[in-house]
């Protein structure tokens, strides 16, 4: 069985997989160089002592797009998702060395859209930094894939994701109902330059940093499904152009 097929089966069955060597050390340095020269006073950036985050990342930092979507990543998207998939969300996270920030178990249930429209099946509307978010029908969420690009080595000491395998196939899974007699937890250690693929319905969490090491991750979401009439993906973009 091929390595690619193994990863595809793991993504389908477990809800996540890690693909090595998507970026060289030189490419990682080039990505980090762009990020180091950002204007952190931008009011669209979220900055606290525990977290630095940029929503609508590729719209806020368009100069990084060509570096991010190298040929290896574009080939990965085609091979693992499909040639008709397009970008629908981008976020940059930087967990500082002394961060006490943690995230409890949750599913990624919100998508970013262009406006608020009262439509059956679209619930739990939010607005974060002038961006509308909404929970769409289950079939929309089941169609999304996430790529997490790791700019730093990430392990259990600096906030690597913890996940519950196969939780993505259980629909909307409330964290307070997790039965730890049945479920198991896995820590997803990811080296620099590797990417983690996951499905947003996978239950995941992140612990506090304890080793004084940064954890910088670029979070990208992809879909090939158009939304219901009058509603559009806020960040829809063709990464191939």
Q: What is the pLDDT of residue 46?
A: 58
CA atoms within 13 A on the CB side of 77: 26
**CATH of the domain spanning 3-223, picked from 3.30.365.10, 2.60.120.620, 3.40.50.720, 3.90.850.10:** 2.60.120.620
Q: Which helix (H) or strand (E) holds 162?
A: strand 161-163
Q: What is the pLDDT of residue 41?
A: 63
Q: Distances from the Cα of 86 to the Cαs of 5, 60, 82, 231, in angstroms?
A: 22, 18, 9, 16
Task: Give the count of beta carbons closer than 10 Å to the beta carbon of residue 139.
Answer: 9
Mean pLDDT, each 10-residue run in order, the chain (241 residues): 88 97 98 85 58 86 96 96 96 80 92 94 91 96 98 92 97 95 96 97 92 91 93 89 51
Residues contacting residue 65 through CB under 8 Å, at least 6 positions apart: 58, 239
Q: What is the CA radius of gyration of the chain?
A: 17
SS3 65: helix
Q: What residue segments make up the domains of the chain, in order of their start? A: 3-223
């Amino acid at each position: 069985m091929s390595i690619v097929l193994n990863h595809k089966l793991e993504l389908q069955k477990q809800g996540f997989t890690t693909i090595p060597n998507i970026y060289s050390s030189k490419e990682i340095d080039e990505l980090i160089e762009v990020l180091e020269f950002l204007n952190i006073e931008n009011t669209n950036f979220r900055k606290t002592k525990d977290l630095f985050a940029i929503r609508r990342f590729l719209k806020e930092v368009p100069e990084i797009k060509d570096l991010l979507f190298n040929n290896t990543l574009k080939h990965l998207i085609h091979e693992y998702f499909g040639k008709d998939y397009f970008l629908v969300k981008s976020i940059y996270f930087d967990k500082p060395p002394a961060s006490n920030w943690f995230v409890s178990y949750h599913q990624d249930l919100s998508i970013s859209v262009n406006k608020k429209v009262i439509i059956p099946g679209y619930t739990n509307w939010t607005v974060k930094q002038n961006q509308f978010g909404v929970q769409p029908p289950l079939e929309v969420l089941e169609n999304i894939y996430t790529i997490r690009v790791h700019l730093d080595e990430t392990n259990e000491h600096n906030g690597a994701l913890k996940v519950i395998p196969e939780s993505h196939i259980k629909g909307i899974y409330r964290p307070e109902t997790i039965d730890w007699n049945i479920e198991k937890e896995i820590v997803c250690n990811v080296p620099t330059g590797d990417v983690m693929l996951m499905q947003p319905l996978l239950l995941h969490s992140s612990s506090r940093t304890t080793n004084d090491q940064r954890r910088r991750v670029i979070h990208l979401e992809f879909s090939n499904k158009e939304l219901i009439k009058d509603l559009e993906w806020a960040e829809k973009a063709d990464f191939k152009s």
